[in-house]
Amino acid sequence: MSDRVLRLGLPILVLTVGGFIWHLVVQIFTIPPFVLPGPGLVLATLFADSGLLWNSLLVTLLTTFQGFLLAAVGGIGLAILFNQSRFVEYSLYPYAVILQVTPIVAIAPLLLIYLPQPLAVLACAWIVAFFPVLANTTLGLNSVDHNLLALFELYKASRWQLLWNLKLPSALPQMLAGLRIAGGLSLIGAVVAEIAAGSAGAGSGLAYRIAESGYRLNIPRMFAALLLLSLAGVAIFFALSGVSYLMLRRWHESAIERER
Amino acid sequence: MRGVGKTFERGTVALDALDLELREGEFVSLLGPSGCGKSTALRIIAGLSTVSEGIIEWPNGAGQIGFVFQEPTLMPWANVAANVQLPLTLAGTDEMSSRATVTQSLQRVGLANFANAFPRELSGGMKMRASIARALVTGPQLLLMDEPFAALDEITRFKLNNDLLAVWRELRRTVIFVTHSVFESVYLSQRIVVMTPRPGRVFGEIAIDVPYPRDERFRTSAEYAGFCRQVAETLGKAMATAGAP
């Protein structure tokens, strides 16, 4: 119980103290808002511009969600395909790695040339997010207990039964870990692509708002948008952690509290 | 059932011209030190491993085989009932008709009250019981057990030994029990096949002519001790032929 209070209380205390110091610094040195707005002004802007920011948030979240979904389907699907056919794995895996190691900021402008803008943003979110799903799921599918494999062989399980009844459930923890990373990454992918697109003068996502407010020296709105983005990232992380916990709590060590 | 001359190779020779004959319904132990290819022989019989020389003959057809591994090898994400039901699920048996069989199999090993428990909630002995229930659920003609109780404490092992014998006496299936324990093999089996290490081959056979049911009185009898000495001596000679262990 006291651990729980500390876990929740300490970050809030740090936030309050940090905000207060920030506020004091701005007050004492009379820093103009276009250089550094105080926390009060940021919050005020968040509420004043809430309509605009909220719509932008929805746009970014929608892209993030779509990118995440595609990454999940693509990553898990590709991992299953790799697991079923060594031929496919050897042919495609190097390119999955190349796609992953090439910085997304460098790919985004190219995608924006060839694809309509919403699609390009979505593609960026997908590219960044799918690799952890692929890598983790592949690891999970390959780490099946050898005795269980022998058992399934003994009872003459079909390929499909082997996949559905053994490999997928036993890969679930790794798969969920991959998805948890992918959730945050698809937000990053969406934001990067929006920034890249924003300089081309189109878009209405939250990242575009940040870029636009920067050009207009509307620094309080930049901070407000940034705050929203962080909150969105935190919410995604907690949502996915929750899903992971719910799916693993009955059987996997990671979700079970240790008894002492 | 007759297993004849199997040589197995994986770079090293694990089994060399192993001759083994099994009669229906008997309880046979394969006894030998680790690395003598007992487990390999078991896997070959189960069809999990291929022979590189020799053949296995099944005069009455291979039939269903149940396998109990050294570890319980349960699926951690499924409860005990689902784990026991697995062989039926894989065979395409529908849920309704397999439920009764699963319940019966769980009762047989004394786990009827733990059908909904998850493997991690069970003790080592109970996990092994679940594993045995799973092996029995298809009504196999042949039950292969690969050092199933090696990791258990002695008290639990004795209890499981007794329960295993009770199940065997009820069902009268052929059991091949791999072990490195002289005492366990004498207590359980009608016949003990002693194997030499590297390469594995049959060194000798000892019949344990003691009627069942065997219980704790047998475990502490002079007769039991005598058999144990005889088996241990044979095992010692088997080890000596192979040089240093």
Distance separating alpha carbons of residues B133 and A149, to the nearest angstrom: 18
Instruction: Decide if B78 touches A, using CB distance below 8 A.
Output: yes
Say yes or no for a CB contact (<8 Å) between A151 and B86.
Answer: yes
Say yes or no for a CB contact (<8 Å) between B69 and A150.
Answer: yes
Say yes or no for a CB contact (<8 Å) between A256 and B120.
Answer: yes
In A, minimum Cα distance to B74 occurs at A148
Nearest Cα to A192, choosing from A164, A215, A211?
A211
Instruction: Decide if B46 touches A, using CB distance below 8 A.
Output: yes
CB B27 within 8 A of CB B65: no
In A, minimum Cα distance to B46 occurs at A154
| Interface test with chain A among B67, B73, B90, B147, by most A beta carbons within 10 Å | B90
Q: Is the ipTM of this complex over 0.90?
A: no
In B, minimum Cα distance to A162 occurs at B90
pLDDT for B244 equals 47
Report domain extents, chain A. Answer: 1-30, 38-255
Q: What Rg value do the Cα atoms of chain A yield, rounded?
A: 23
- Pairing mode, strands B53-57 and B27-31: unpaired
Preceding amide of B119 cis, omega within 30: no
Confidence of residue B242 (pLDDT cuts 50, 70, 90): low
Instruction: Decide if B89 touches A, using CB distance below 8 A.
Output: yes
Distance separating alpha carbons of residues A26 and A7, to the nearest angstrom: 29
Contacts of A170 in chain B (CB under 8 A): 75, 77
Give the model confidence (pLDDT) of B84-123 as tens digits: 999 999 988 888 888 889 998 999 888 889 989 999 889 8
Give the model confidence (pLDDT) of B54-84 as tens digits: 777 776 666 788 999 999 999 999 999 999 9
Q: Assign a CATH topology to domain A38-255.
A: MetI-like fold (1.10.3720)
Preceding amide of B199 cis, omega within 30: yes
| Interface test with chain B among A151, A152, A172, by most B beta carbons within 10 Å | A151
Set out the domains of chain B in order of their start, with CATH numbers: 2-63+141-241 (3.40.50.300), 75-139 (no CATH)
**Total count of residues recorded for chain B:** 245
CB-nearest partner of B75 from A161, A169, A256: A169
The ranges of chain A with pLDDT < 50 are: 201
Q: Looking at the predicted structure, is the pLDDT value of residue B10 above 60?
A: no
Residue whose tokens read 């990553």:
A75
B167-196 average pLDDT score: 87
CB-nearest partner of A165 from B43, B89, B118: B89
- Lowest model confidence (mean pLDDT) among A134-138, A233-237, B2-6, B240-244: B2-6
Q: What is the DSSP letter of B120?
A: G
pLDDT for A137 equals 95
CB-nearest partner of B65 from A154, A251, A252: A154
pLDDT for B245 equals 44
Calculate what percentage of chain B has a pLDDT beyond 90: 22
Distance separating alpha carbons of residues B127 and A122, to the nearest angstrom: 48
Give the model confidence (pLDDT) of B186-231 as tens digits: 888 888 988 877 777 777 788 787 777 787 778 788 788 888 888 8
**Total count of residues recorded for chain A:** 260
Instruction: Decide if B117 touches A, using CB distance below 8 A.
Output: no
CB-nearest partner of A151 from B67, B76, B91: B67
pLDDT for A139 equals 92
CB-nearest partner of B48 from A150, A161, A172: A150
pLDDT for A259 equals 63
Contacts of B120 in chain A (CB under 8 A): 251, 253, 256
Say yes or no for a CB contact (<8 Å) between B43 and A250.
Answer: no
